Structure 1
Amino acid sequence: METRRNKINKKALEIFLSRLEKPDFYNINLEQYPTDADTASTLLIEAYMDGNIAGKNVIDLGTGNGIFAIGASYLGAKVSTGIDIDPEMVATSRKNAENNASDAEFANVDVSDVKGEYDTVLMNPPFGSVIKHDDMPFINKAIEIGTHIYSIHNIKSYEYIREFYSQRIQIIRQERIFIKVPRIYAHHTDNYHEIESVLVYGIKN
């Protein structure tokens, strides 16, 4: 994908990401939910402005519809890879990449099986609300394979996660955000609800 250098701003990126297709079904046991375009563009622009997207080897852990990986490709990543354990999510992300002339690549793999070294890890992992500590394999893998880590976490569990991170990486920035989640599960009563969260940027020590 050719970098849109004349359009690199949050609004342009958000509009682009909002047009990506979303899957028809979400698996609650995997705590799947879409990352909204506003949240995704916030994370991606921050990583870009930090110098950790353009020309870098980037991986999106738990890619869903490919929003971070395709966004990183849009912003000029040298290599942009998205992984997901759900083959339907990978199929959706590949379709989005094809429809948007993105060179982001996707693989159907469990996060624990990911290998390699990456300049930048992007992720909005499970919050561990359904299965306790379901976010930890993502956090551990990010620290194992990445240098610069951008991650989103539920504010309710962040104190534990912050302590875990602080013993392994240097936390550069913590930002309070609100993720907008549509009504996708039976227990959802509103068309949309907001989850108070924390966007973390850290560098491996």
Structure 2
Amino acid sequence: MTPIDLATWPRQQHFSLFKEFTQPYFNVCVQLDMGALYQYCKSQQCSFFHAYIYATLQASNAYQPMLLRIIDGVPWQLAAQRASVVELAEDDTFRFSYFSQQATLNDFQLHANKVSLAAKQQPLFSTAFAQTEGQADLIHISVLPWLNFTSFSHAHTQGNYFGIPRLVFGQFDAKKGAMPISIDVHHALMDGLHVAKFIEQLQQSIHALCA
């Protein structure tokens, strides 16, 4: 993790403006082209869910603005980030699974299966939760496979979020090959152009899995 030099950072004034906002996050919802990835996962008998989480970690670690955080009121650049992913347990309550980027999709599936199994056997306030949640090097990911939404709003408090991006995937539409994604980012760190470039990076990561 490296501190950003505010004296030379082009976003210095933008950072100063938005970091003091009561609600500094902005949200964008778009449709992702997921048809080819879905068909690839069916043909390879692998998890569609794991595939797009893997692609998301690849894209978010490859695109520099998604690795920006605010720590003690100043901007920092992460070297890498992990995913805090919401998953359902058998009792229909959620747990947080903490996934790290892996070299291949197969490696990621083995890692994710192990992490998910352990998380779902523990209460929400588990040891993993206590040791991991609330750290700056996370990206928050939720999945709503029951809803083809066009907008989204998160529950939030006035706590310190470090400028962590929050992503929500919706229901896959098999006829259109599309899936909605909601992205919340901190306006002191990113603008709409950066979100658009990240979506492009994510779409490239998704398509690369099918190549």
Q: Considering the TM-score relative to the shorter chain, is it more than 0.5?
A: no
Taking CA–CA contacts closer than 8 Å with sequence separation of 6 or more, which of the two structures ends up with the larger relative contact order? 2
The structure with the largest alpha-carbon Rg is 2
Shorter-normalised TM range: 0.3 to 0.5
